[in-house]
Structures are given as C-alpha cells and as structure tokens.
C-alpha cells in the first residue's frame, strides 16, 4: 500500500484558500480534514463538513487527551484543532489528506511530520487583499481593519517561519487553482504516489 501524503494549505482570510483547497481535494481525490473549533456555527457552516463545533470544555478534553494532531488559538478565545485519527487513517490508506490550517498549526505539523507538503496562498498585493476583505462585507470597518492587520502579520510570519514548501499567488482564481493542483500533483509524482 503506498504511503499517503499530508498537505497543509494556509493563507490569510480573504485570499481564496478555501476554494483552492476544495479544488485540490476534488481534482486529486483528497480527503479534507474537518477541524474541531470552539467558534460558533454560522448559517454558512455545515456541522461535520466544514467543522465540528464543540464547547471549550470538549476542546480541552480532546487536546489534553491527545486527540488533536495540532491546535491553535486562531482568534482571541477561539480555538481550532485537527483531529488526529482521520489523518492517520487517510495516510495509512495511501490517500492525500488536506489540512486547511493557520501558520501556527502548520509549524506544529512540520515539526511532527516533516514530510508534510505545505502551500501558502498569497494575495497579489495588500490593496487587493483589503478589497477582498471588504467585499465579504459581513463585518464592520473596524473588524475589517483588524482582519487586514492580522492577514499582513500572517503573511510575514509565513515567510519568516521557513516551513512552507511553495507559495501560490492568487491573482486570478482559476490560475491559482491550476497552479496549486499542479504543484501537489508533481509532489505526489516525485514521491512515487
């Protein structure tokens, strides 16, 4: 049975990483890792598909019980983590397992599993990033500015931490999707998958 591959995709909010992730998943027959989170469910979320929504107490139990491969407090007071068991199962079954997680989580993954392949999705420039955050328009300006500052800090952290194998610039979504799929496919090919 061939060994599977662990793929980490990160990028700031508003950069199109979820769309890219889902295309990679579909085109390369990957498995999307459903994270647990303590944030509240929104109408756009489906329990068990986008996230497993859990209480802070349950999250702590899972974390302390060794059920999470990595975890991070992504927003103040809101924790996100990757359940370990599905990752182990997918890798053992020779599948491509895809984690869409933040930089702190990706750093933990690379420490534990250096063979993981990691992509970071970048906006073409700051102006476009701010426009995309505004277009989402579900938040007030102060919150948009906070997200913008966080996104810029996350990009700098991604460059500095040195754990990302590739950076994909999303100038045009179709092009970025094709590039991400080609990079992951090439890596699988090189590893003999």
Footprint of ligand 5GP (CB under 6 A): 13, 35, 39, 70, 72, 74, 80-82, 100-102, 104-105
The residue among 165 and 193 lying less far from ligand 5GP, judged by its C-beta, is 165
The residue among 96 and 99 lying less far from ligand 5GP, judged by its C-beta, is 99
Cβ proximity of 33 and 134 under 8 Å? no
CB of residue 50 to ligand 5GP, shortest distance in Å: 7
Signed CA dihedral, 90, 92, 95, 98: sign only: positive
Q: Considering only CA atoms, which of 116, 79, 101 is closest in space to residue 12?
A: 101
The residue among 42 and 192 lying less far from ligand 5GP, judged by its C-beta, is 42
Alpha-carbon distance of 184 to 82, in angstroms, equals 21
Measure the CA angle with vertex 37, ends 23 and 159; round to 5°.
60
Provide the token pair at 108: 């933990």
CB of residue 192 to ligand 5GP, shortest distance in Å: 28
The residue among 19 and 186 lying less far from ligand 5GP, judged by its C-beta, is 19
CB of residue 126 to ligand 5GP, shortest distance in Å: 18
């Amino acid at each position: 049975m061939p060994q599977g591959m662990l793929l980490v995709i990160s990028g700031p909010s508003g950069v199109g990483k979820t769309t890219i992730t889902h295309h990679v998943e579909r085109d390369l027959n990957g498995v999307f890792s459903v994270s647990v989170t303590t944030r509240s469910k929104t109408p756009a979320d489906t329990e068990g598909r986008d996230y497993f929504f859990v209480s802070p107490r349950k999250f702590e139990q899972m974390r302390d019980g060794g059920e999470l491969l990595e975890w991070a407090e992504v927003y103040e007071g809101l924790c996100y983590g990757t359940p370990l068991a599905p990752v182990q199962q997918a890798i053992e079954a020779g599948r491509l397992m895809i984690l869409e997680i933040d930089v702190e989580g990706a750093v933990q993954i690379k420490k534990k599993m250096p063979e993981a392949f990691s992509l970071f999705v970048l906006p073409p420039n700051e102006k476009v990033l701010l426009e995309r955050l505004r277009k989402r328009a579900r938040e007030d300006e102060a919150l948009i500015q906070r997200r913008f500052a966080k996104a810029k800090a996350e990009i700098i952290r991604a460059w500095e931490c040195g754990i990302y194998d590739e950076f994909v610039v999303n100038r045009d979504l179709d092009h970025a999707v094709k590039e991400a799929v080609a990079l992951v496919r090439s890596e699988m090919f090189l590893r003999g998958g």
